[in-house]
Amino acid sequence: MSGAPSEPSGVARWDFLKAYISDWHTVGAVAPTSRAVARKMASLGGVHYARNIAEFGPGTGAITHELLAALPADGRMWAFEVYGPFVEHLRKTVHDARFTLLERSAADLGEIRRAEVPTGFDAVISSIPFSLIGPEGTREVVRAVAQNLRPGGMFVALQYHPTFLRPYLLEEFEQVRRNPYLWNIPPTLLLTGRGVRRPT
Ligand SMILES: C[S@@+](CC[C@H](N)C(=O)[O-])C[C@H]1O[C@@H](n2cnc3c(N)ncnc32)[C@H](O)[C@@H]1O
């Protein structure tokens, strides 16, 4: 099982800032997410009752640790990360039998679902910077989530951009909610999507 979750250490904060300076377009934020926001994401995603979840963009693990703290003992979690130094960091720091780290894009969610989670994911928790990924990449990832959640499953996405993601969620989900989280620097928007739209 994972160790006690904590606020990101000075080392994690410094690694994060260096990563942003070297590849801001992929990393998308200057500092790791706070513990309070990460806990809110776990609760919005119903992670306490989940069996199979996915995380997009674990970075240095700020949200990952809170998800693992919430996930039941028989749950499983797959994390998709594309930035090599963060993958290395996670390999060294997350030791939990329930956790599988993939050096792959979030867009590959369907391949993992077909191989490992035939019933679909209970929740997908994302902090990837959709507004920097752009319209085409965003549509691809949001569609992959909608196609690979179980019925009633929940998508939770952290965004700093106030308006970019919502239209893409509305294309795929019946219920889309905005949960502003103002007690964070910078203020954060947590969007949720549930109830996949079926073609009419
Ligand atoms: C804003 S950071 C969030 C990091 C961490 N989860 C946190 O909240 O502190 C965004 C993360 O998404 C990752 N990322 C960007 N595009 C991605 C993609 N297509 N698939 C998976 N991860 C991606 C970046 O490498 C980075 O780790």
What is the distance in A from the centroid of ligand 1 to the CA of 199? 30
Give the tokens for residue 90.
């996670």
Query: Does the CB atom of residue 61 touch ligand 1 within 6 A?
Result: no
With tokens 């502003």, the residue in question is: 180
Question: What's the pLDDT at 77?
Answer: 98
pTM score over 0.85: yes
- In the block, residue with structure tokens 């009419």: 200
CA 16 to chain centre: 17
Q: How far is the CA of 4 from the centre of ligand 1 (A)?
A: 22
Q: What is the pLDDT along the chain (200 residues), one digit of tens a residue?
A: 444 445 566 657 777 788 888 888 787 777 889 999 999 999 999 999 999 999 999 999 999 999 999 999 999 999 999 999 999 999 999 999 999 999 999 999 999 999 999 999 999 999 999 999 999 999 999 999 999 999 999 999 999 899 999 999 999 999 999 998 887 777 889 999 999 887 65
pLDDT at 8: 60
Ligand 1 atom nearest the C-alpha of 28 is 1
Q: Tokens in use for 119? A: 């019933």
Predicted local confidence at residue 9, as pLDDT: 63
Q: Is the CB of 57 under 6 A from ligand 1?
A: yes
Which domains does the chain show, CATH number per domain? 10-127+135-196 (3.40.50.150)
23 DSSP 8-state letter: -
Q: Does the CB atom of residue 86 touch ligand 1 within 6 A?
A: yes
Residue 4: the pLDDT is 41
pLDDT score recorded for residue 20: 82
Alpha-carbon distance values, 11 to 14, 15, 18, 55, 117 (Å): 5, 6, 11, 22, 35
81 lines ligand 1 (CB under 6 A): yes
